[in-house]
Structure 1
Amino acid sequence: MTAILAAEGLGIAFGGVTAVDDVSFRVEAGQILAIIGPNGAGKTTLFNMVSGLYLPKSGRVRLGGEDVTAMEPHLLARRGLSRTFQNLQIFFRMTAAENVMVGRHLHEARGILAHLFSWPSVARQNRATREAALALLARVGLAAEADTPAGSLSYGALKRLEIARALATEPRALLLDEPAAGCNPVETEEIDRVIHQIAREGIAVVLVEHDMKLVMKISDRILVLDHGRPLAEGTPAEVRVHPDVIRAYLGGQGAREANHA
């Protein structure tokens, strides 16, 4: 079966220092792959290569079997690859619905004359875009906050809002960079629910995350990086007891948390 998203031997260096070296993975429709590792292991750098922000020095990226290596992010979005970032990228003065509507722009017809003269087609399109945004907010549990300014939402709600906006591009593959970072246990449970639902809808999910309870609970497979290189890959049950992973990353406390996930 052709993977929805695949990385093949990706590598990159900055100023002669290798940040990622020969990393490969594949994720299929409805599958959740977690990428974990110590700070500086190359996880976000890997995401940046896959999502078109960085040009790999070596290796390929394939989306639905198509070679999309170094394709610009907006072109990748058109082909079905979307992502979120570690730091919130929210328009705080806009409502929750308006934030999600921004993510729909790739699916809107654009014409200077139509907007300049406020043709009826523009009003119809705006209504359709808002309806789509409301449906996405409902998917992430924020239906009641549609007209709330984003700046008034809780941190956990903002994390889910970012996911809703990423979903507005109608992705086949979704990259989530630390979706639960900074969230309390209740907010993390909400993120867990949202990610599971996304996967059930057939979207391939790849996430970078430090919350080991979440990772072990939600993932189908886990890829562990250390100093930019693959250290281990397998199911949560395999990774949580892997001696190299425990030594390099989990440690005693992390291993206990993983085992109680």
Structure 2
Amino acid sequence: MSLLAVEDIGISFGGLIAVDKVGFSVEPGQVFSIIGPNGAGKTTLFNLVTGIYKPHRGRVMMAGETMTGLAPHVLAKRGMSRTFQNLQIFFRMTALENVMVGRHLSERSSFLSDLFGLPASAKQNKVTCEAAQALLERVGLGGVANTTAGSLPYGALKRLEIARALAAAPKVLLLDEPAAGCNAVETEAIDHLICDIAKSGVGVVLIEHDMKLVMKISDRVLVLAQGRRLAEGPPREVREDPAVIAAYLGEHGAKEADRAHG
């Protein structure tokens, strides 16, 4: 039984088929990457899996349990978390406070306890703070816990967003272009972080345009084109597929992908 299974999922907007009969599965500790040209349907597929869009067909399963059409906050409680293409950071809050926000689903204190500052609320806040600090340490941001997020460099913000997603203690983590806009040093840090997350047993689903990163850390790769599955398999197999080279990688991209294993 797969940790995450997506079966023949699809959606249309008006007369446009955005995603059509796409399926894949992810195991615990696996890095599963989804690649393809702009407009291929990658983020739409993420939105279907994470409950932002309700699919017109197909289904989403987690550990054998149907999750199709459930709201994002319900999926988060069941063990699914994600990041977005564009940063969703609270820039006026500190790095620590941003991660603490991600812990809200696991907090036990009540509204009245928080309102009146009862001991239970203070105890819960301490637990949340310590957990958030540990996550910042894990992503390499422990030293900037009390720094306002808006003053952090871009690469740090990308890792901060991952830390906040991890705060929900997910079984499956979906990362939408976590290295987009990062320089080589920042990308390498994210590379190591994703591998560390997978080694902890979390299933990671990754959308990314950096082919060197994808080919280096992925266990399997799914290629989308015009909302449909073009190819799927181990990185080496995918990067050598003539259809993938023609539709997406091109000669230059194929060489870049080869360098990841050179």
With normalisation by structure 1, the TM-score equals: 0.99
How far apart, CA to CA, are the structure 1 residues paired with 2:19 and 2:110? Answer: 42
CA deviation map 1:52-72 (0-9, x unaligned): 000101100001111000100
How far apart, CA to CA, are the structure 2 residues paired with 1:182 and 1:90? Answer: 16
Is residue 201 from structure 1 mapped to residue 185 from structure 2 by the alignment? no
How far apart, CA to CA, are the structure 2 residues paired with 1:70 and 1:21? Answer: 17
How far apart, CA to CA, are the structure 1 residues paired with 2:17 and 2:109? Answer: 42
CA deviation map 1:154-192 (0-9, x unaligned): 100000000000000000000000000000000000000
How far apart, CA to CA, are the structure 2 residues paired with 1:115 and 1:191? Answer: 36
Could you say which residue in structure 1 is the equivalent of 2:49?
50
Could you say which residue in structure 2 is the equivalent of 1:84?
83
Could you say which residue in structure 2 is the equivalent of 1:185?
184
Aligned-pair RMSD on alpha carbons?
A: 0.6
Could you say which residue in structure 2 is the equivalent of 1:23?
22
- Counting only pairs closer than 5 Å after superposition, residues 99-248 of structure 1 correspond to structure 2 as 99-248=98-247
How far apart, CA to CA, are the structure 2 residues paired with 1:189 and 1:109? Answer: 37
How far apart, CA to CA, are the structure 2 residues paired with 1:226 and 1:88? Answer: 25
Deviation, 1:39, is 0.3
Query: Equivalent residue of 1:91, what SS?
Result: coil
Deviation, 1:112, is 2.7
How far apart, CA to CA, are the structure 2 residues paired with 1:144 and 1:136? Answer: 12
How far apart, CA to CA, are the structure 2 residues paired with 1:116 and 1:227? Answer: 51
Q: Any runs of at least 4 consecutive aligned residues in structure 1 with deviations exceeding 6 A, and if so which?
A: none
Question: Residue type of the partner of 1:166?
Answer: A
How far apart, CA to CA, are the structure 1 residues paired with 2:20 and 2:112? Answer: 49
Could you say which residue in structure 1 is the equivalent of 2:66?
67
The answer as to whether partners of 2:109 and 2:124 remain within 8 angstroms in 1 is: no
The answer as to whether partners of 2:35 and 2:207 remain within 8 angstroms in 1 is: yes
How far apart, CA to CA, are the structure 1 residues paired with 2:148 and 2:63? Answer: 37
The answer as to whether partners of 2:35 and 2:222 remain within 8 angstroms in 1 is: yes
How far apart, CA to CA, are the structure 2 residues paired with 1:86 and 1:254? Answer: 21
Could you say which residue in structure 2 is the equivalent of 1:252?
251
CA deviation map 1:26-81 (0-9, x unaligned): 00000000000000000000000000000101100001111000100000000000
How far apart, CA to CA, are the structure 2 residues paired with 1:14 and 1:135? Answer: 42
Deviation, 1:224, is 0.2
The answer as to whether partners of 2:40 and 2:225 remain within 8 angstroms in 1 is: yes
CA deviation map 1:182-224 (0-9, x unaligned): 0000000000010000000000000000000000001000000
Number of equivalenced pairs = 260
Could you say which residue in structure 1 is the equivalent of 2:31?
32
Structure 2: 5+ residue stretches without partners: none
Structure 1: 5+ residue stretches without partners: none
How far apart, CA to CA, are the structure 2 residues paired with 1:146 and 1:17? Answer: 45
Question: Residue type of the partner of 1:47?
Answer: F
How far apart, CA to CA, are the structure 1 residues paired with 2:18 and 2:209? Answer: 19
Is residue 97 from structure 1 mapped to residue 96 from structure 2 by the alignment? yes
Is residue 12 from structure 1 mapped to residue 15 from structure 2 by the alignment? no
Deviation, 1:116, is 2.2
Query: Equivalent residue of 2:21, what SS?
Result: strand
How far apart, CA to CA, are the structure 1 residues paired with 2:24 and 2:115? Answer: 47
